[in-house]
Amino acid sequence: MLRRGLSLLGVGTLTILDRGGNRNRIMKLIEDQPGLTLSDIKRSLNMNIGTVRYHLFILSLHHCISSFNDGTKYVRYFKNSDTYSYAEMMIISMLRRSHVKEILNMVMAQPGIQSVEIAASLGVQEGVVSRCMRMLAVRGIVVKTSAKGEKAAYKIADAYKQLILSNI
């Protein structure tokens, strides 16, 4: 039904996916900036939220995009066709969060850094940094190290170093 095509002078068929200017704009934005949320797309394209939601549904229905829930309340969108692995989607999703991106940059630059140092450098409360570090440690992105009696220090897990470097 949805794939019903129209013949265009014998050149080919035009599907429902080809007929949407807004849909094409959304798809292009997701290709250019993977890991955006519904609100990010709405804001970037200055579109009504219902319009964006509808076109995301159509694109998902036709397997043009895939959605990824990173464990927070946000769903992030990526180009489909196995463009991104689970690990890549997770890293890109984490890097879309401002505090997490700044923290990962610091840990990448200074392996063994403590949350107190990160908090002081970023000008945020230590609790914010600790919560982010705990979430990153649970996902295996950072490794917590500490000597007896010392505060925890963090470094990027070897499996994620290259992914983080290529997406920062």
Tens-place pLDDT, residues 116-152: 999 999 999 988 898 999 999 999 999 988 766 677 8
For residue range 22-64, list pLDDT tens digits in order: 999 999 999 999 999 999 999 999 999 999 999 999 999 999 9
Q: Which of 8-12, 69-73, 161-165 has the lowest mean pLDDT?
A: 8-12
| Nearest residue to 70 via CA among 55, 86, 54, 83 | 86
Q: Does domain 97-167 have CATH number 1.10.10.10?
A: yes
pTM to 2 decimals?
0.78
Question: Three-class SS of residue 156?
Answer: strand
CATH code assigned to 6-84: 1.10.10.10
Could you give the residue range(s) of every CATH 1.10.10.10 domain in the chain?
6-84, 97-167
Order of all β-strands in the sheet with 153-156? 113-114, 153-156, 142-145
